[in-house]
Amino acid sequence: MTMTTNDPRPDPIAQARDWLSDLFAPWVQALRLAPVAVGPDAVVLRLPFDESLCRVGGTLCGQALMSAADTAMVIAISAQLGEFRPMTTVSLTTSFMRPIAQGDALITARVIKPGRTLTFGEIEIASASDGKLAVHATTTYAML
């Protein structure tokens, strides 16, 4: 990332893009998650629809949606902290409410209770085409 201004605070979108390419496994990067909005309380990532992510039946596979949820939460926590700090997922509970077919997914991750040792978050995944909520997840992270 090249910053051409003197602004000491990096562009949050660019920073999230850097985190996405630096912190995650290449297999996770193959999801091509892209930041749409990045703020201190919530971030929104886009998961581009791709045939390689579809299970039999043609809908986005649950594995990709769970992985996107976990990834988005790391970005949300980092964005709130203003930097990436080592952390590990303690638990992630995902509910699958509707399939997403033929369209991108929008992943919104929110820190609902930051903590020095444990941070709690919530993730919603909606279909970008109709806005309907498809997946809801809650998660706990241990800050290392």
State the residues that interact with its own copies by CB under 8 A: 22-28, 30-31, 50-57, 61-64, 66-67, 70-71, 86, 88-99, 112-113, 117-118, 120, 122, 133, 136, 138, 140, 142
Contacts for 93 with CB less than 8 Å, ≥ 6 apart: 137, 138, 139
Shortest separation between residue 4's beta carbon and its own copies, angstroms: 27
For its own copies, the closer of residues 44 and 65 by Cβ is 65
- DSSP letters for 30-61: TT--EEEEE-SSEEEEEE---GGGB-TTSBBP
Least CB distance to its own copies at residue 128 (A): 18
- Residue with structure tokens 């039946």? 57
Q: Which is nearer to its own copies, 13 or 92 (CB)?
A: 92
Concatenated DSSP letters of 97-111: -S--BSS-EEEEEEE
- Of 104 and 122, the one with the shorter C-beta distance to its own copies is 122
